[in-house]
Chains A and B, each alone.
Chain A
């Protein structure tokens, strides 16, 4: 596709329930990123992939959060046993191959708003 597609747009979960978010990167883009935007507008990097491989997971909480990018499937971000503080907008972004200075733009999806009640 020509844009990063995130589903669902909104997700409401009770505390302790599982949440799963999806992201379809732009066709031909090798890199996928997940960011978390909390209420105070701060964007926090979570994880990035190069194709199916985890590239950088330094921002991922060690517990409860996991992510995958499998061939021929949208990428996913899963939160087990959600907590109130997980309420945020989760953005996915994709970019082309990392080689060369021309390919430095990350294109963002419109986000999934997760509300944990």
Chain B
């Protein structure tokens, strides 16, 4: 079985500061890894995904994440945040190949960007 741990429930940060949102996973099989963002009263929007290849993945809105197999981590980073980045961020894993597999989510990290 797979599981996802997001180590921080809330991350406050000032505008234009860098941020890292941490995600660790456990799985006995190869997985695909995802970061989603949820703005208030909205659905989930995909930020980026790791399927294979380069361990550094670049996504939308200036976010990137690095897959570290030995540490079973997939931390999300942004070098300079904006007020508009305030949202809930979810790390997720999906076992196997293809879009038909369910996503297993972490509990989420609330990013609060302050002026």
B55 adjacent to chain A (CB < 8 Å): no
B68 adjacent to chain A (CB < 8 Å): no
CA distance A4 to B46 in the complex (A): 14
Check if B88 sits within 8 Å of A106, measured CB to CB: no
Check if A95 sits within 8 Å of B49, measured CB to CB: no
A67 adjacent to chain B (CB < 8 Å): no
CA distance A111 to B44 in the complex (A): 9
Chain B contributes a number of interface residues (CB within 8 A of A) equal to 26
Check if A41 sits within 8 Å of B104, measured CB to CB: no
Of residues 47 through 63 on chain A, the ones whose CB sits less than 8 Å from some CB of chain B are 48, 50, 55-56, 59
- Among B17-25, B72-80, B94-102, which stretch is in contact with chain A? B94-102
Chain A contributes a number of interface residues (CB within 8 A of B) equal to 33
Q: Which residues of chain B have C-beta atoms less than 8 A from A4's C-beta?
A: 43
- Among A12-20, A69-77, A80-88, A97-105, which stretch is in contact with chain B? A97-105
Pick the residue among B45, B52, B98 that contacts A99 (CB under 8 A): B98
Q: Closest Cβ of chain A: how far from B74's Cβ, in Å?
A: 15
A33 adjacent to chain B (CB < 8 Å): yes
B32 adjacent to chain A (CB < 8 Å): yes
A-B interface, 8 closest residue pairs, ranked by CB to CB distance from nearest: A98-B98, A98-B100, A95-B99, A108-B43, A43-B105, A108-B44, A41-B108, A45-B102
Beyond known contacts A55-B100, A98-B101, A104-B32: 4 more, CB 8 A cutoff: A33-B103, A100-B98, A103-B99, A108-B36
- B residues apposed to A, CB below 8 Å: 32, 36, 41-46, 49, 51-52, 88, 90, 92, 94, 97-105, 107-108
- A residues apposed to B, CB below 8 Å: 4, 30-31, 33, 35, 40-43, 45, 48, 50, 55-56, 59, 91, 93, 95-101, 103-111
